[in-house]
Structure 1
Amino acid sequence: MSQRVAGGERTDGRLVKIHRLKLLNFRQHADSDLVFEGGLTGIIGPNGVGKSTLLEAIAWALYGGDTARGGKDSIRFSRAPARAQVRVELEFELGGHRYRVVRGLTVAELYLDGAEQPIANSATSVGELLQRRIGMTRSEFFNTYFTGQKELAVMASLSATERAQFLSRVLGYERLRVAQELADQRRRDLRNEIAGMRSGMPDTDALAAQEAEAQGAVGGARSRLADAEIERSRVQAQLDALAPKWAEAQRQRDELQLLEADIRVTEIELSAQRRNTERLAVELQAVDEARAALAPVSAQLVPFDELGKELAQLRDLAAQDGRRQALLGQDQSMGAELAAMRTEREAIVGAPALEEQVTLDLEARRRQLESAQGNLELRRTEWVRDRQEAETRRNALRAQYAELRDQRDRLVARGEQGVCPTCQRPLLDHYRQVLDVLDNQIEAISADGMYFKSRLEQLETMPDHVAELDDDRRRLQTDVGALERRLARTQMSVHQLEHLARDVAAKEMRHEALARDIAGIPAGYDPDRHRSVESEFERLVALNTQANRLTTQVEREPALRREQDQVARSEATLAGRCDDLLSRRTALALSEEEFGLIRHQHASAATQLQAAVGATVTATNELAMAQAALERALVSRRDLDRAAERVAVLEGDRQLHDELHRAYSDLRTDLNFAMRPELSELASAFLTELTDARYTELELDDKYRIVVLEEGVPKPVISGGEEDLANLVLRLAISQMIAERAGQAFSLLVLDEVFGSLDDVRRQNVIALLRGLQDRFEQVILITHIDDVRDGLDQVMEVRVDERTGASVVQYGGVAGRELAAAVAAGHPGVIRAAQPSE
């Protein structure tokens, strides 16, 4: 720890001095660049323009994280473009080294002594490195170097307990309170856990009773299981004795059932073979009848083959005759078409010559139409031009008449005093002469106007010779249209003549081919003979079908004879087998009554065994449940023992935290009592220096109230200025105390709105006190909205809001600023500029 500052001496520890602060899109500051000098610097401006934002920017640059009000989302300038960069750059001096920290929303860099490469390049590493170099946390740094708004007189309005808590919080003793709260929270948690465990622990007597009951249940279950096992063994022996007799009875019963089934199957098969014998006899009789009927039918079928060949020839001739008739119809139709086409060709054979003549007539008529069209357009143009010219002249005369009439009316109204329309001089004696001239002009214009009016009326309708030319043009247009339509029809006839020639030639070739096809078809078809052969052949087909059926029946006779012999042998075999099965069934000695008795005895023994096995299973289950209940009782006993051990451990931990809580209270009390003399000593040193030893002693009483002593005697009443002085030296003593404990030299002091509601005299007193500390503080920064204090400052910065951009602007101001204007213009390093946002 550095040595305590006394008098005007400054330690050689790590001095802190701010050189430059640059803000880009930070809060209200779109682009501000501030360079700080030593001495007393004032930052002046109305409330809400961004003065305290400068202190916030310093804290954010050094410590980052959540030091900015509202978090990262509200840091960017509200009127900045989307994705606009946010950056704060701070240059400061610490322990003989110059640091430059650049911090954005997601990045941070720290440079040492003007180096180009950073010594830390992440938000976390920069904050941790600066905290180690400065040797203070954020709260310690601000409580040391920064005094917030109205903090000078804050203790005066607090109670004794609140003043003690305020000093503890400023000096860092608040961490003891936090630790004590953690200990108290742990103590409450332990109490709750102990209470919860005790409420969940079972009653010891109830647990012992439960264990004894479980032991008795296990003994009873074991006894019942032994009895059930004895009964099951007895019934099992009885069932085993009946087993051979029951097995033999079942064997004989099964054999009897098999014999009954075989007898039924054999009788069914024997019945089937007897039915087959009867069927075969019937079928063989039918074969004899078919053989007798086949002879007369075969005699009638002798001419069947020859008649079939003749019918095939007649059918072929019928098909050829049908084709002949179809071709004859086509030949007749094609002849008629050829005759019609030849007639049509003769009708339009003169179309080519007629096309040439119509074309010549059409060209002549078109030339006549073009000539008539030209003459008509020429005459119509002359008529329209004459009418437009007459109308133009008439309109001009109307305007001239109106103008002359107006001049005459004005001249008559003014009389001889009127002015000449040409030279604008009074007429006097020339009045009558000028009036006569105007009358003559008006009369001449009226005559001309009447002529052109009459001329327009004449030209209103189309002249006769132009109408005649228009009629000729229409007639010629009609003639040309008629000739064009006639030419189109003639040209169509020419094309049709060419097509007809080709079609006639093609049809003539097809007609000749058709005649050749008709000539090539054979003749000799007799329809009557065809119908007779068809009728006879159909009759013989039916007889042939009957003969085939009878032949098939006769041909089956050998197979039926063989099947009859086989059925006779099978019937004899099945009859012998049936007799054998009946003899074996009669030989079996077991009756149905004997089998029923044995089955009843065996079923009764099996039922008793099943009941004995069920009783054994029930007894086994009861034993398992009793053993499980006993095990649960034993587990509950072990859990109770472990819970009791855990409660004992927790009780010891609770007692330890009770003692720790009392120790923290005692430690805070001791520190608070030790703090008062130390603060009094430091404040007395500042008070002696600032009052030129008028007051040399200041102390805090047991209620942490400020008491100023004069020659060792407390002053019960002090003036307003003395109160401001006492508050200031107490705040300086607190900052000095924090700085010493952090190993820092107390060289920087920042006061934010410390004037509160002080009047002008007290404000000047505070300024004088601050100036008296310049040999101790190398750099004092004062932030205020009061403009009257600027004359007492070494350097003044004015903060205002640009209404056009909405951004805060920092400028020089005050006497000290005007004195530095020349240095600023010459490029002095202590320049403060306020740049507008980039457009």
Structure 2
Amino acid sequence: MILCKLKLENFKRYKTFELDFDEGLVGIIGKNGSGKSTIFEAILFALYGEFKDRGYKEIVRNANATDKDAVVVELDFEFDSIEYKVVREFRGKALSANAKLYKNGELITSGAKEVTTSIMKLTKMSKEAFLHTLFASQKELTSLSNSKPEDRKRMIRKLLDLEKIDYIEKELIEKSRELKREISAFAEVLLSAEDIQTKKEQIKSNEAIKKTLNEELQTQTKQIDSLKLKELDIKKELESFVKTKEAKQKALSELNLLKNSINSNIENQNKLSTELKDLEEKQLQYKALEPIKKEYETLQSNLKEQIQLKEYSLKKEGLIKEQVQLREQYKKAKNDIALLQKECEGFEALKQKEQESKTQQEQIKQTLTQIQVKEKELNSNIFAEQRIINDTTAKIQQMQALGKESNCPTCTRPLLEEYDNVIGSLNSTINEIQTNKITKLNKELQEVETNKKTIETQKEQIDKTLSELNSQLALINSKQKDLQNLSSHLNKVEQKGKENNDEIAKLDKYSYDENKHKTLENSFNEIQPKYEQMKSLETMLKRYDSVKQDLEIISKKITEQNSTYDTKEIDYKQIAYDETAHTSKQKEYEEHHQTYELKVNQINEIKVKIAQCEGEIKTIQSSLDNNEIQLKKVQTKKDDLIDYDKIKLSLSEFKTKLNSKVAPRISDIASNMYAQITKGKYQHIEVSNDFDFYIYDEGKKYPIERFSGGEIDLANLVLRIAISKTLSELSGSSQIGFLAFDEVFGSQDEARRMEILEAFHMIKEQYRQIFLISHEMEIKEMFEKVVEL
């Protein structure tokens, strides 16, 4: 089914409206209240003569239309390459319904109910099924993953229209027929009595052959046991040759390792001897430099003392300079404090004046409020009197328009001769109200307004006085804070001055001589290189005893290793190994093993023949057993046929079974679409029989809540489309070629919108028309075609 054209007259917000539907991905864009959803409400009404919600009929007519204006909806659509046109109308005050259906321009059905019946036969869909299959909203999509399990199950069952049982009853009847055909087909494949007898004789023949082969197998097994014993004897002799060879190789390896160790130790012995001679020479140099050590330490101590005295001298100079600065700060702080104390005088008098002004201000506010109440009351009275004048004037104009034949506005009787008296009385009433009441009220109002202006002037003066007092008090408050800070600062300056005087007194006992300091530095710098050379030699000589001890140890070790080497060399020469005899025995073993392997292969061939016989026996026996099983299956199917007749009495149980067919189908469709949209990242979406959703990631399934918001949105989208396709298949309406989604972008950001739109681009090949309704004006550039409302 493809939508072609929609025409509306006096339908809801549209006085007149026409829209041609394009194919492809179409965006229907407009602000809230622009009539986007109304378009698809009109499509539903055109097809089924009803609205989504009952009780909607009363507000369908345009607000500017009269009861005489008809509400008309015309929809052109294509179904199975045939053009159809449906026209529905509401006429009169009671909104009586009428409808017509055209096929290729020819009227085929008329009448509201008749057209609805024809549409349902054509599409094979009820109104609910049409809504659930072709329309989806953002709220419905998010409900797929966000709802509680029971709510989700209830919603999907409603979408799938599982409440209807006609299709289930038809399936039960067809299944019964199929069982009857299967029972008839089983009779043709079951074995006859002759076939059973032949197969039993084949089993006996194979068992006889198997017995002969088993006897031959026993004979061959005894021969191979004899060969096995001889092979073991040869193998023991070979193992003896191998052990002797390994022992000789091990002894040679140990000799080579010991020789390398001896050579390495001799090399270390030479290095240690050279190092010991070098240390003896450095020992002589150290003794020559040793006397300067005491002189160096004395100079170092004196130099540290001079550095400390210099630090005390510098600290004393800094304190003296700081005392000069503190005296200046103290003098300035004393002067500033005296000035601020004078400026803060009169603070309490200003506070008293401020309180008096606030009291006057409150009294004026109360007086002004009373005047405003009186002013409002006078205006209300003037308005009431003026309304009486207006009403009376209107009566006079009405009477004058009708003449003396008019009725009395009080008793409703014809005036006739009293006409002039009544007119005069009414004019007199107007003059009295105008002269006495309104004039008096206006005079009182003028006096009140004059008094109001006087009071307002007084209020402005008090407000100005209060503002000036607040400014003066704020300034004095600020200066009082400054006075407090200055007093604190003065105390800190006094305390610091006392601390500095005490510190200077302590430093007076120290005396620093700069010339003496420089003389000591020069002497220290001259002796320091010699002292460092001495310390370096001292460090080196610490190794003297260690090197001497190592030399003695390694010399002793070399002597021991030479003795061990001589002993091991004698042991190596005493090991007797005949390589020629070893090679000959190895050749004998290989020839005997070949004979053994040949005999093993012969035995294996016999075992294969035995296995073949056993296989044929099992195959034939399996055929006989399978025949028994098939006989039981035939009986089972006969029992099932009886059970299916009973199942027809329990339709509620059958609905549950249907879920196990629906869920995998939804899963298959959704998985294919999701794999395509995610470019193969996710291959499968599983839908359980309880309509819980899982996504497979790298072979493992996870609940849908585990994934990101964008991935959940795409999963909800493909699941909703899969449900639509499944519903189409269940209803048999495979010719539906369009889908409509209402506000699926919701409050998504730009990246999420692009993902959803890309998903629609990927699935658009499966539908000729996909309509997306949205109030987001900025996304209209994303569509191939746009209807802007």
- TM-score class normalised by the smaller sequence: 0.3 to 0.5
The TM-score normalised by the length of structure 2 is 0.41
TM-score (norm 1): 0.38
Task: Give the number of the structure whose alpha-carbon radius of gyration is greater.
Answer: 1
